[in-house]
Amino acid sequence: MSHSSHKLSELRATLTEINQKLLTAIKDRRALVREIQQCKEPTQKPFSSYDSAREIELFTRMRNDLLALNETELLAFSLLMEAHAGAPELYPAWSSGVHLLEAPQSVMHKLNPLLVKLLSPASFDALKLTTHFSFLRSI
């Protein structure tokens, strides 16, 4: 086996390990979100799992790591949050544009708008938010 072949095999093995850790982390995250939801008081209000103050706090703490991601990676993160929190019933389905007056036209439109607000204020300002989600402008 040549040096480059051996190196390629090592890199692929490391990638496989990382992929396994990522899948395990996703499953662990899903279970933890469910446990958190069970601890909350039951409510019939729409999007009962959505806490904008908590999210802006989380995203602010994670800002540097989030800035290191490209748009597609940010979308994957945002989709993971949606799926685990119970979109579209318990949590807004940002990816489908529930917060927008018109259908999403770009990846930025499909992201959690608070992520957009933190990482790209100009893109956030350009969002055409529905009346229901206009409160996000004052956060």
Q: What integer pLDDT is reported at residue 49 of this predicted model?
A: 87
Same domain membership, residue 124 and residue 72: yes
Kindly report, residue by residue over 26-38, the tens digit of the pLDDT: 999 999 999 998 8
Domain membership of residue 110 as a residue range: 45-138
Confidence of residue 51 (pLDDT cuts 50, 70, 90): very high
Residues 6+ apart with CB under 8 A from 75: 95, 107, 110, 111
Contact 87, 124 (CB under 8 A): no
Same domain membership, residue 51 and residue 97: yes
DSSP sequence for 4-32: HHHHHHHHHHHHHHHHHHHHHHHHHHHHH
For the segment 74-93, the average pLDDT, to the nearest whole number, is 96
Same domain membership, residue 63 and residue 118: yes
Same domain membership, residue 22 and residue 2: yes
Helix (H, G, I), strand (E, B) or coil at 61: helix
pTM beyond 0.85: yes
Same domain membership, residue 68 and residue 19: no
Residues 6+ apart with CB under 8 A from 68: none
How many Cβ atoms from other residues are within 10 Å of residue 29's Cβ? Answer: 14
Q: What integer pLDDT is reported at residue 42 of this predicted model?
A: 76
Same domain membership, residue 112 and residue 73: yes
Residue 43 scores a pLDDT above 90: no
Same domain membership, residue 19 and residue 50: no
Same domain membership, residue 33 and residue 18: yes
Q: Give the whole-angstrom CA distance, residue 41 versus residue 54.
A: 16
Number of separate domains in the chain: 2
Same domain membership, residue 131 and residue 63: yes
